Amino acid sequence: MNQEVFAALAEALRAGDEVALVTITASTGSTPQRVGAKMLVYADGRTVGTIGGGCYENDAFGKAREAIRTRRPRNVRYELTDDFAEESGLICGGQMEVFIEPVEAAPDLYVFGAGHVGQSLGRMAHDAGFRVHVLDDREKFADARRFPGGVETIVDALPDWLEAHTLPATAYAVIVTRGHRYDLDVLRRLAGRPLRYLGLIGSRAKVKRVYDALIGEGVSPEALAAVHAPIGLDIGAVTPDEIAVSILAELIGVKHGRLAASGRTPVSLRWEGAVESAR
């Protein structure tokens, strides 16, 4: 049975599906399944494998879908003499612990802008395990020689590329182009799309100008509220490398469920001037 689970997990990772792996890690007394039994739960409710059936499996199923949503693992203990067991007819007298682990493939990160910050972020994010795609309309910047092997570089007009491509809902998108007009072009096409993360570089004043322009075009405030802007954690970053670190830290926080996937109100403006000049 576990071979079937492992095969399904490998296929889910290849396809980019969001799943959680439920594994019995400890048991005492009489239990329906042994330590090591596994069940794979998909975000859409499909399952492969079993940890024994009954109401406790259904409870683990619900907790697994929650783990997919929050991307946080958890341990759960079940008493097979409790209400779960009684409702299932599984009064075995044992105890069982399961580990519920959300599992996902290396996330895709789309970096719009291959300038100084984009180059630093592309390099660091690749090393941190993201599948990085860097886009710019300038061939000399979106040059594979400026990035480590494994980073995809794309030379194209950003609005045209976005019109022709749909980013997966699990993707992370970072807007660090060379100017407000280009940032506006990208955000206009990404705001409101289902994405794991969407961030925009710039000062609060710059962000407000971009938002005002988009709202004037009919973009909803709710769509813009999901954007992380100004982008990155406030660590007093000044140089392109430091700003890239602040952005990557935020991406990692969202990836592991430690930070909200939606945007938040800026708490500091100490490095606004730096981000405007470092691109």
CB 244 within 8 A of CB 218: no
pLDDT at 2: 87
Q: Is the pLDDT of residue 270 over 80?
A: no
Q: Is the pLDDT of residue 97 over 50?
A: yes
Q: Where are the domains of the chain?
A: 2-103, 108-277
Cα–Cα distances in angstroms (integers) from residue 205 to residues 161, 179, 229, 240, 272, in the given order:
28, 14, 11, 20, 9
Identify which has the larger pLDDT, 276 or 259: 259
Q: Is the pLDDT of residue 268 over 70?
A: no
Q: Is the pLDDT of residue 173 over 50?
A: yes
Identify which has the larger pLDDT, 269 or 14: 14
Identify which has the larger pLDDT, 277 or 132: 132
Residue 82: pLDDT band with limits 50, 70, 90: low
What's the average model confidence in pLDDT over 252-278? 61
pLDDT at 37: 95
Token couple for 185: 């072009």
Residue 265: pLDDT band with limits 50, 70, 90: very low
pLDDT at 83: 54
**57-71, 247-261, 264-278: lowest mean pLDDT where?**
264-278
Backbone angle region of 82, left / alpha / beta, with phi > 0 → left and psi within -120 to 50 → alpha? beta
Token couple for 71: 């991307």
Residues above pLDDT 70, as percent of the chain: 89
Cα angle vertex 17, ends 15, 23, to 5°? 120
- Torsion sign over Cα 155, 158, 159, 164: positive
pLDDT at 67: 94
Q: Which of 264, 249, 241, 275 is nearest to 130 (CA)?
A: 249
Top mean pLDDT of 40-44, 70-74, 202-206 is at: 40-44
Residue 256: pLDDT band with limits 50, 70, 90: confident
Identify which has the larger pLDDT, 135 or 257: 135
In the chain, what is the greatest distance between 2 CA atoms, to the nearest angstrom? Answer: 69
Q: Is the pLDDT of residue 198 over 60?
A: yes
Cα 209 to Cα 194: distance, rounded to the nearest angstrom: 23
Report the chain's C-alpha Rg in angstroms: 22
pLDDT at 79: 82
What's the average model confidence in pLDDT over 31-48? 92
User: Going by DSSP bridges, is the β-strand pair 131-136/108-112 parallel, antiparallel, or unpaired?
Assistant: parallel
pLDDT at 266: 35
Is the overall model pTM greater than 0.85, yes or no? no
CATH 3.40.50.720 fits 108-277, yes or no: yes
Average per-residue pLDDT in the chain?
A: 88
Cα 254 to Cα 252: distance, rounded to the nearest angstrom: 5
pLDDT at 44: 94
